[in-house]
Amino acid sequence: MKHKFLTAAAIALCVAAANPVTMNADNRVNPFLQPYTTPYEIPPFEQITVADFVPAAEAGVREQKANLDKIVNNPDAPTFENTILPLENLAPTLEKVQGVFYHYDSAMKTAEISELGETLIPMFNAASNDVMLNDKLFARVKAVYDGLKKSKLTPVQKRLVEKYYRQFAEQGAALSPEKKKELVRVNDEISKLFMQFTKNLLKATNDFSIVVYDKADLAGLPESVVANAAETARKRGLDGLYVFTLHAPSRLPVLQYADSRGLREAMWKGYTSLASTGETNNIPVIEKLIKLRAEKAKIMGFDNFAQMMTSRVMAGTPEAAEEILMKVYEPAKAKVKEEVAEMQAYVDRNGGGFKIAPWDYYYYSGKVKNEKYNFSEAEIQPYFELNNVLDGLRYCAEKLYGIKFEEMPDAPKYMDQVTVYDIKDEDGKHVSVFMTDYFPRDTKVQGAWMEQLQSAGLYGDGKTRRPIVYNVGNFTPPTPENPSLLTLDEVETTFHEFGHALQGMLTQAPYRSLAGTNVDRDYVELCSQINEHWATAPEVLKVYAKHYKTGETIPDELISKLKESGQFGQGFTAAELAAAALLDLAWGRCDGENVDVANFESNYAKQIGLPDELTFRYRSPYFKHIFGDDGYASGYYTYLWAQVLEADAWELFEQKGIFDSKTAASFKKNILESGDTEDPMKLFVKFRGHKPDAAALLRLRGLDK
């Protein structure tokens, strides 16, 4: 999941003073400067051009300034109504521009969009600073905050005030003028480095490929993977050859299924050296970022960046985050030794004559799994045609939460691959717009994520609007011969990102800064991770897992094998994730002085005893979660933190029934709908009945044995 808005939820933007400028310099109507007349105010993508962004952003900045002046120059005493609510409705035009630009910057990152970012992002940063570092505004927010004990505000309104006060303080509003100036400089330099990191990573990913000339070298690979490699080669003018790239649908099957050890090694080394050399080298970018982050933490009064970032979420301190990581990492590391021993025994029995290396892990894990359970994930992939998977996803959402999907074929789209849905409740009332974009392309950043183009909540015209939410992925694309056949990991990712979408779409929080996924970073992954469980539940598989050729429902035998082997390989999965999260925290504690990225990473691997057969889930030069923006910086641990919540919550569904109406209703009310209207721990306890039990995760992953 991603959060791109630079002020988090602190500036939820909406309708304010009318802007008389509606035309560009070329006398063409600027769609950003007009009311959207599209269904549910979906951005009119087909009308928006690159030339529209800067004039609209400039108009948005002027609009924000005018509205800001009205707040700070109000002669009346600060109140919720004259200070906090106007902040919720500060700059509607700027929100429109940011929403579309940041979406394009990840999903449609053309050369024009990259160049545009060099102008827009500093402009967005400056607009954010104008708000968050405004002394008069902070004084008014503080006055409302200081009067909370005597106020008659509702608990939710009080929480909104508290959130604004906290976010202003976190953004440096209480700093001296000198420190504010330093902070602005540091933030500006950091944002430029984010852009460079992402630009380098995208180019490095697109520049790498492996060309295979002899089909015999592709032994072991599923037919659909070979077909995709042939199609990629054809598009590059290499008919009759096979091209593999670092995009997940190409990379992961090679590591998992290719009999050729040389091919696997080439892919692994290509991936783990990504963006590490030449013109796309991210190492100098990281070195500068680490130093600037350490400087920023000092300005803000913290010992280090990790301390600053964890202070803002449930964990509270890097030590607390590290403690829960180690509770998972140590047993996972021990499990890895067992897994490697089984693989090595397999290699030795079959005359391999070599020691298991990192590029062997996926492949021989699959071999051992097949030997132990007579099961290969390649067996189930034909049952995971994308449209069938989406049928299963919709089935679960309707059965659990009572929502329905109606496709909107005529809705605005930024490209043909996008599908748009009108999400409705059981009474046919509009709940949300939901958009999907699932296949890789050269202009799309790797990974999968959820975001929104419009937040739910109260707007400046007094109306409450429903959200516009989207899911983006990089899944196995169709070929002329075959439809899109997802891997098991891709199926789970589809459900994962839709879990985020559910929290965004179903929210009933009255204010946008508290709505949907605007919650603590180490709480937000609960909804996504628990939703993965329904993807492989036997009764759900029976609904959607149909063979793409025969239409046959997945047989009970395959479901049993999938379930029996479910905990296999969990040492690797948990250890590489925990190790990456620990590395992230280590970077957050680093002062950046004379740091050597490669040495720092390798030394830390030794410090935590990372097994030789593993590497970090993301090496630093392509660890976009933590170096592409601040979203998960010193916060990658949140995936495991939230896995504790998820595992404990899932145990209740298992006890009561995975479609138990009472349990689903409680989860919907207390978790999906509530957003940040109450302390997340209290909301979790309301649903679960107790505080999260870390042992639940070990039980779920089979790491308690």
Helix (H) or strand (E) holding 419: strand 419-424
Crossing angle of helices 283-299/177-207, nearest 10°? Answer: 160
E strand map for 378-460: 404-407, 419-424, 430-437, 449-454, 457-458
Q: Do 576 and 615 meet the contact criterion of CB atoms below 8 Å apart? A: yes
CA distances (Å), origin 28, targets 25, 31, 32, 300, 521: 7, 9, 12, 45, 41
Q: Do 4 and 102 meet the contact criterion of CB atoms below 8 Å apart? A: yes
Q: Do 367 and 271 meet the contact criterion of CB atoms below 8 Å apart? A: no
Tokens coding 174: 């209480």
Phi, psi of 81, rounded to the nearest 5 degrees:
-70, -35
DSSP 555: P
Angle at 450 between CA 448 and CA 456, to 5 degrees: 175
CA-to-CA distance for 531 and 395, rounded, in angstroms? 13
DSSP 476: P
Alpha helices in 208-260 (DSSP H): 223-235, 248-257
SS (H, E, C) 450-461: EEEEECCEECCC
Is residue 331 classed exposed, middle or buried when 0-12, 13-18 and 19+ CB atoms within 10 A define those classes?
buried
Alpha helices in 89-241 (DSSP H): 92-107, 111-132, 135-146, 155-170, 177-207, 223-235
Tokens coding 561: 């094998």
Residues comprising the chain, all counted: 705
Tokens coding 565: 């082997």
- List the catalytic residues: 497
Q: Do 457 and 88 meet the contact criterion of CB atoms below 8 Å apart? A: yes
Residue 668's nearest CA partner among 508, 515, 536 is: 508
Phi, psi of 472, rounded to the nearest 5 degrees:
-125, 140
Residue 202's nearest CA partner among 111, 285, 118 is: 111
Is residue 584 classed exposed, middle or buried when 0-12, 13-18 and 19+ CB atoms within 10 A define those classes?
buried
DSSP 212: E
DSSP 567: T
How many C-beta atoms surround the C-beta of residue 574 within 10 A? 24
Q: Do 614 and 572 meet the contact criterion of CB atoms below 8 Å apart? A: yes
Pairing mode, strands 430-437 and 468-472: parallel
CA-to-CA distance for 249 and 447, rounded, in angstroms? 11
CA-to-CA distance for 46 and 349, rounded, in angstroms? 60
Amino acid at position 529, single letter: Q
Residue 576's nearest CA partner among 283, 328, 399 is: 328
Query: Radius of gyration over alpha carbons of the chain, in Å?
Result: 25
Tokens coding 301: 């009064």
Would you call 626 helix, strand, or coil by DSSP?
helix
Q: Do 592 and 294 meet the contact criterion of CB atoms below 8 Å apart? A: yes
Q: Do 496 and 529 meet the contact criterion of CB atoms below 8 Å apart? A: yes
CA-to-CA distance for 321 and 310, rounded, in angstroms? 8
